[in-house]
């Protein structure tokens, strides 16, 4: 009996052509899938869905996500990595995997705001309590670790006020008390310091990174990662990750793979421009204080120097600085200054080519006014990749337009 040939529509789906193996190019190929095809039922049954020896389902990884995960392990100095739909999803994955009803999590008082909002708005409803500790006082952290503390969040520096904590000391305290610590490493990005090697034999348990920032570098996608150096801890996080269905778009993974090779160069360029502008701002009488960990009078400068410039010299810092506009200027004038900026755009996030500025209401973010900060209105700048002279002129013209110098 002659077999009926498949119809055209079927042929186009089940096509026999296989391109020759051995293609090599600078950019890795992109594999997109929800469905992964197994060669046989036996192969499907044998496939280990927890490891990286094979593929089971798009949500559990493709060659493209595995490739990015391995590169991020190299970036951060870790051994295992989970990709996440956003930096905040990475934070949530850690919290949901490690905390259960009755547990407590400690969060630094200057932490990334949505981390606190997650604790207040979601974890609390699950019976998980949280307390804020003074990021600049290790004794306060030590005092607040209690019977029920299961996780300590660390951030270096704080995401808006940029105080640099004594990170090795904080990790040492967590170790001594047997509590897991997770660092939000978005600022350091794997480039400013090594989160798993803060001192000989001393590192964080978990490094969370908002890839949305420097690894993307485009201001055009959202992604996060959770990197560890412990297989059992990774598996715990991974099971929660799988059960919650936290997937990433493969086009976005491709974009990060394309940006990653230039990340160190971009980080240095943002750093250099930021320091130049921060130093310039420190000379303007309208600003009562300029916050950038590499400035000698910025809170935690010595901690930054020890960790991020251990050999002396310039060291490394992300492209963020904040200013406290002198309290003699009202909110309306400060808002007018932001509106007068032309190259600095008003927007959240950072790490892309476009310079950004954002006013923050510190009174709503912190329990009391931190004693190490001058009175005033806080603005955070994240210089992009424009020519730094143009950015300085932009600040100059907006100051002249909206914040006349004091008499």
Ligand X SMILES: *Cc1c(COP(=O)(O)O)cnc(C)c1O
| Binding interface with ligand X (CB under 6 A) | 86-88, 112, 159, 184, 186, 210, 212-213, 222, 224, 349
Q: HSE-up of 398 (CA within 13 Å, CB side)?
A: 21
Backbone angles phi, psi at 106, to 5 degrees: -105, 135
Using alpha carbons, select from 214, 236, 233 the residue that is nearest to residue 223: 214
Task: Say if residues 257 and 222 touch (Cβ distance below 8 Å).
Answer: no
Q: How far is the CB of 405 from ligand X (least distance, A)?
A: 32
- Least separation in angstroms between CB 112 and ligand X: 4
CB of 71 to ligand X, least distance (A): 18
Residue number with CB closer to ligand X (113 or 404): 113
CB of 179 closer than 8 Å to CB of 203 = no
Q: 343, 394 in Cβ contact below 8 A? A: yes
Choose between 159 and 355: whose C-beta lies nearer to ligand X.
Answer: 159
Nearest distance, CB of residue 154 and ligand X, angstroms: 11
In 3-state terms the chain splits into helix, strand, coil percentages (rounded to 5) of 40, 15, 45
**Quick one: 80 or 186, whose CB is closer to ligand X?**
186
Angle between helices 301-308 and 167-177 (to 10 degrees): 80
Least Å distance, CB 204 to ligand X, is 14
Residue 94 or 198 with smaller CB distance to ligand X = 94
- Identity of the residue, 177 or 194, whose beta carbon is nearer to ligand X in the bound complex: 194
CB nearer ligand X, residue 192 or residue 402: 192
Rounded CA-CA distance 282/337 in Å is: 17
**First-to-last C-alpha distance (Å) of the chain:** 101
Nearer to ligand X, 133 or 153 (CB): 153
Smallest gap from Cβ 129 to ligand X, in A, equals: 22
Which residue's Cβ has the minimum distance to ligand X?
Answer: 87
Strand order in the sheet with 321-326: 287-291, 321-326, 376-382, 356-360, 345-346
309 phi/psi in degrees, rounded to 5? -140, 55
Evaluate whether 104 touches 236 at the Cβ level (below 8 Å): no
Q: If we measure between CA atoms, which residue out of 161, 107, 114 comes closest to residue 370?
A: 161
Q: Which is nearer to ligand X, 208 or 334 (CB)?
A: 208
Give the shortest CB-329-to-ligand X separation in angstroms: 27
């Amino acid at each position: 009996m002659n077999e009926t040939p498949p119809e055209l529509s079927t042929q186009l789906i089940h096509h026999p052509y296989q391109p020759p193996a051995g293609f090599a190019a600078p950019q890795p190929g992109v594999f997109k899938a929800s469905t992964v095809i197994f060669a046989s039922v036996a192969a499907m049954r044998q496939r280990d869905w927890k490891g990286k020896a094979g593929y089971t389902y798009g949500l559990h990884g493709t060659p493209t996500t595995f490739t990015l995960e391995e590169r991020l392990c190299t970036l951060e100095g870790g051994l295992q990595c989970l990709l996440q739909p956003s930096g905040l999803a990475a934070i949530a994955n850690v919290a949901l995997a490690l905390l259960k009803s009755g547990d407590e999590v400690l969060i630094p008082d200057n932490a990334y705001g949505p981390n606190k909002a997650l604790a207040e708005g979601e974890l609390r409803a699950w019976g998980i309590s949280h307390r804020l500790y003074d990021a600049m006082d290790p004794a306060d952290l030590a005092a607040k670790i209690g019977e029920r503390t299961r996780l300590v969040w660390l951030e270096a520096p704080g995401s808006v006020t940029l105080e640099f904590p004594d990170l090795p000391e904080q990790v040492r305290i967590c170790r001594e008390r047997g509590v897991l610590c997770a660092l939000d490493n978005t600022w350091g990005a794997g480039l400013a310091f090594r989160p798993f090697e803060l001192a000989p034999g001393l590192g964080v348990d978990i490094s969370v990174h908002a890839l949305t920032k420097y690894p993307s570098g485009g201001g055009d996608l959202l992604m996060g990662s959770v990197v560890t150096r412990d297989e059992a801890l990774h598996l715990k996080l991974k099971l929660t990750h799988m059960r919650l269905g936290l997937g990433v778009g493969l086009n976005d993974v491709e974009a990060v793979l394309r940006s990653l090779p230039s990340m160190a160069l971009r980080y240095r360029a943002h750093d250099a421009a930021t320091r130049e502008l921060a130093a310039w701002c420190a000379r303007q009488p309208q600003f009562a204080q300029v916050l950038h960990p590499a400035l000698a009078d910025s809170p935690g400068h010595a901690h930054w120097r020890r960790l991020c410039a251990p050999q002396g010299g310039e060291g490394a810092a992300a492209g963020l600085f904040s200013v406290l506009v002198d309290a003699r200027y009202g909110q309306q004038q400060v808002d007018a200054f932001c509106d007068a900026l032309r190259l600095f755009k008003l927007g959240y996030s950072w790490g892309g080519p476009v310079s950004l500025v954002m006013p923050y209401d510190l009174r709503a973010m912190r329990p009391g006014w931190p004693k190490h900060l001058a009175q005033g209105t806080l603005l955070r700048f994240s210089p992009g990749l424009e020519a730094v002279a143009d950015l300085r002129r932009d600040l100059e013209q907006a100051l002249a337009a909206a914040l006349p110098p004091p008499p």
